[in-house]
Amino acid sequence: MPESPLVIENLSFQYRTRPEPAIENISFELKPGEMLLIAGSSGCGKTTLARCINGLIPRSYRGKRNGRVLLHGKDVAEMQIADMAQIVGTLLQDPERQIVASNVYNEIAFGPENLGFPRAEIIARVEQAMKRLRIEHLRDRETFNISGGEKQKVALAGLLAMNPSILLLDEPLASLDPASAYEALEVFRSLTDEGKTVVLIEHRVEDAITARPDRLLYMETGQVKYFGSIKDLPTEINHREVKLPAEWVVKRVRQMGEKIDKRSSPADKTESIQNVERGESLVVFENVDFRYGDETPLVLQDVNLTINRGDLIAVLGPNGAGKSTLVKHAIGLLKPTRGHVLVEGKDTRTMSVAQIARVLGYVFQSPTHMLFAPTVREELEFGPRNLEFKKEVMQQAVKESISTVNLNGLEEYPPLGLSFGQQKRTTIAAVLAMRSKIMIMDEPTAGQDYANYTHFMDAMCRPPAEGAQSLVAANFAATMFITHDLDLAVTYANRVLLVGDRHVVADGPPEEVLKDFDLLRRYRVRPTSLLRLNLELLSRTGRFLTAEALAAYD
């Protein structure tokens, strides 16, 4: 009988720079043709476990390691990297860290080339991987100029071209639009059915379960709290830590007997913002066209858009639609090919990026585009110091920002040594500390568990309770966030922009834009269980609510 592809025996690991173990006493075994879903809050040890499986621990990350990881009966610690690369294929959370070639085709071919495969086989593998992920149209594109979601697909194609027996997927859906995520999950399921062993680490549990994982491993503080089937909601899973289907959350809240006060539910706060009287125009797009080069097609065409005081805008749309390009115009990183972008009445062509930064704070999709300082504290102080904040004001802004994004205790850690989710929160905190008038975030929930992102989104998008002080919430005259998490738009936005075909194809209140399922599907947005349940109860609620608040409606 052949050895199991993956066996983990009493595995523990403590980073050299951390006082506590990252994972403790983990044991499980996976057979060929099995898919394991690993879930848990940010920092619970999921990525550390992945690093132990693919051999980055103990090679690239130092610390105290106990137990064993066996790949087809061989201990990872004793294997050569080249041999491991043919067994375990890893897809990282951040595709920026994985892509090395300047051209898409060369990127996909990179792995097979390094393994020394014949040219004909390399070509066949690349073609098959592109076809499987439906990215043939990206073949000749530069990797620098494709979207984050497209980079994720290209990185996955490079992984498939290697044809490993174990696929280790660390939040593969983080940058994908909903339809692409569903297609990727179908690919993962088909690969499992073909005999691959798939380890899927994912915060988006509602999406991940559509791939029909054979088992679920749920972690808290480095330990396994549940390991078994996922036919129903295991009681060990905390619905406040992990985003689950709306019906599961409603059922759990009712089972726990939690009292829900409809009058003071979180959504009532959202409603108070939704009904706020719109103030002055802050950012105006006038007949904006944009292309990245003279010979390239338009990415944006005839865009007219105004961001007003009081707006909480969710920007939705497929990968490569131009969402990030749109917001980069607002912050002056890009200038229109035709038309004008005005920030507080001034044309961005006449303003420096530093001048615009006093008005608009921007969180990039990839944390690696922003992080450089030796510690989290110094990272957060950089912006306020350059904006010439007084020392006491800067220190207060940094302190509040750290608390808002739940980074307490990590102030002296190096940002690039943190988990992807913690890095993302560091970039959000860095912009929060600058106290700009307008906050713009590109995929703020990437790498975040439900508890973390609801905490900082509440702070930024909802007014404080009467009599309470919240400089963070009160600071922003408007907030815009690009997201593939439709429930983020349902919960927090008072305005939804749907971007596609180079245009803003829909612009209005969530209750209006998100009820048109045909339009959503046309632009690769898949309706979620929370959206469906909200629309079903809208005549009674009068507004969109969180799943917890919906539990109050029988």
Strand partners, 218: 39, 226
Please tell me the pTM assigned to this model.
Answer: 0.85
Task: Report the sign of the C-alpha dihedral through residues 262, 264, 267, 273, in that order.
Answer: positive
CA distances for 223 relative to 27, 44, 500, angstroms: 10, 8, 43
**Measured CA angle at 238 (ends 233, 241), to 5 deg:** 125
- For residue 509, the 8-state DSSP code is -
Q: Over its length of 554 residues, how does the chain's per-residue pLDDT go in tens digits?
A: 567 999 999 999 999 877 889 999 999 999 999 999 999 887 789 989 999 999 999 888 889 999 999 999 999 989 988 788 889 999 987 788 888 899 999 999 999 998 889 999 999 999 999 999 999 999 999 998 888 889 989 999 999 999 999 999 998 887 888 988 888 899 999 999 999 999 999 888 888 999 999 999 999 999 999 999 987 667 888 888 888 899 989 988 988 876 665 543 444 444 444 444 556 899 999 999 999 988 889 999 999 999 999 999 999 999 889 999 999 999 999 999 999 999 999 999 999 988 998 899 999 988 988 999 999 999 999 999 999 999 999 999 999 999 999 999 999 999 988 878 889 999 999 999 999 999 999 999 887 888 889 989 988 887 655 444 444 434 589 999 999 999 999 999 999 999 999 999 999 999 999 999 999 999 999 999 999 999 999 999 999 999 999 999 97
**Predicted pLDDT of residue 300:** 96
Residue positions counted in the chain: 554
List strands edge to edge, sheet with 23-30: 23-30, 6-15, 63-71, 74-75
Contacts of 190 (CB under 8 A, 6+ apart): none
AA letter at 277: E
**C-alpha–C-alpha distance, residues 311 and 278, integer Å:** 7
Which residue matches tokens 């080249």? 82
In terms of Cα–Cα distance, which of 503, 80, 9, 78 is closest to 290? 503
8 Å CB contact between 508 and 515: no
**Measured CA angle at 425 (ends 421, 431), to 5 deg:** 150
Strand partners, 65: 13
What's the alpha-carbon Rg for the chain, to the nearest Å?
23
List strands edge to edge, sheet with 166-170: 88-91, 166-170, 197-201, 35-40, 215-220, 223-228
- For residue 217, the Cα-to-chain-centroid distance in whole angstroms is 21
SS (H, E, C) 153-186: HHHHHHHHHHCCCEEEEECCCCCCCHHHHHHHHH
